Amino acid sequence: MKELDPTLIQLCNLLSDCETHDVEAIKNELNISAEVISQLIQNLENYGIQVNSMGDKGYTLSEPLFLLNAEEIKRRIKMDTNSLLDIEIFETLTSSNDYLKKNKNPKKIKVCLSEQQTKGKGRMGRSWYSPFGQNIYLSIAFQFKKPMNEFSGLSLIVGLSILNALRDLEMQDHVSLKWPNDVLWKDKKLAGTLVELTTDNNGVSQLIIGIGLNVNMMDSNQAEFIQAWTSLRQIINEPLNRNPISASLIENLVVYINRYAREGLMSFKEEWDKFDYLQGKEITLMQGKETFYGKVMGINDQGHLLLQLANNQIKAFSSGDASIKK
């Protein structure tokens, strides 16, 4: 675990014009020593970032690398939401969800972002590939004095809030939600969410909501991808600054989760139906060792998936992995 070093942010901002910067110029610009510069460059290389060293001439980055910046994120979030938040940003963490499980703030909505996760977690015990500086790995913890069973369908709401954030950024075309938690662009996975719920002895439920959004990732040899994926950069063909996107994700999540806690899942039903990728499709649903085939008939008031089986019976599923029947 390492908190994001503000000087590393400054260095990356400076090098993000992809011009050559000599050590003297960097020293003067950032007011740091040559030793500190070489240590920061070493850190970047250890995180897998390619920094070109031009000998005496200095350093260049082949690609812009704008790191996450708490000040910029806060500046972009409306004042009334901002005052509710406690935001922390790390260079590296095992998993932002796990960090929030251990580090609570009962008075605030705690937000954690990390440039890298060494043990990023996906649904169903899978891992979530989390390379340094490329994507958004964000977790938010909410507390409500309500029992855990009142939060069914929560991951659907998280998906809707991501979609709305993408709409704010004018990136919503071809985006849909695949029950229960995938954000797709066309047929490829753009983001996933991992919701973890606990209730303490006083009846206070802790909602830990983790979002992994592929932003600048272009390629990967990772065998762990079991599903075709894409990133915002692949879609729009240019690298993106993750700070405005993070701010929009946080802002939308706070709005959606508070409305969900007040009004319940069904007040979002129409919005869900509009973006439901599986609606009307013939699918295979894997649940544990069992496999079911059927036609998707939407969701019920718990957010469970309704499947019309071969015998015409409609069965509700609270969890499972869906794939389109070929």
* CA 132/CA 117 separation, integer angstroms: 8
Using the rule CB under 6 A, is 137 a contact of ligand BTN? yes
Strand order across the 2-3 sheet = 2-3, 85-92, 109-114, 136-144, 205-213, 188-199, 182-185, 175-178
Task: Decide if residue 95 touches ligand BTN (CB under 6 A).
Answer: yes
At closest approach, how far in Å is the CB of 189 from ligand BTN? 7
Q: Is 96 in the site for ligand BTN (CB under 6 A)?
A: yes
Site string for ligand BTN, 186-225 (x = CB under 6 A): ------xxx---------------xxx-------------
Q: How far is the CB of 224 from ligand BTN (least distance, A)?
A: 11
Which residues make Cβ contacts (< 8 Å) with residue 148, sequence separation at least 6? 197, 198, 199, 205
Residues β-bridged to residue 206: 143, 198
Q: Is 177 one of the binding residues for ligand BTN (CB under 6 A)? A: no
The alpha carbons of the chain give a radius of gyration, in whole angstroms, of 21
Shortest distance (Å) from residue 9 CB to ligand BTN: 20
Provide, rounded to whole angstroms, the least separation between the CB of residue 5 and ligand BTN. Answer: 21
Least distance between ligand BTN and beta carbon 49 (Å)? 19
Which strand ranges, in their side-by-side order, compose the sheet holding 290-299?
Answer: 314-317, 305-308, 290-299, 282-287, 321-324
# chain residues binding ligand BTN, by CB under 6 A? 20
d(CA 211, CA 159): 9
Check if the beta carbon of residue 254 is closer than 8 Å to that of residue 270: no
Residue nearest to ligand BTN (CB): 192
The nearest distance, CB 112 to ligand BTN, in angstroms, is 9
Give the nearer residue to ligand BTN in terms of CB position, either 69 or 181.
181
The region of 74-82, 119-127, 234-242, 313-321 touching ligand BTN under the rule CB under 6 A is 119-127
Q: How far is the CB of 94 from ligand BTN (least distance, A)?
A: 8
The answer to whether the beta carbons of residues 164 and 188 sit under 8 Å apart is no
Q: Does 122 bind ligand BTN (CB under 6 A)?
A: yes
Per DSSP, the residues of 252-298 read HHHHHHHHHHHH-GGGGHHHHHHHBSSTT-EEEEEETTEEEEEEEEE
State the Cα–Cα distance between residues 188 and 230, nearest whole angstrom: 6
Of 4-12, 18-26, 54-62, 122-130, the segment contacting ligand BTN by CB under 6 A is: 122-130
Footprint of ligand BTN (CB under 6 A): 95-97, 117, 120-123, 126, 128, 137-139, 181, 192-194, 210-212
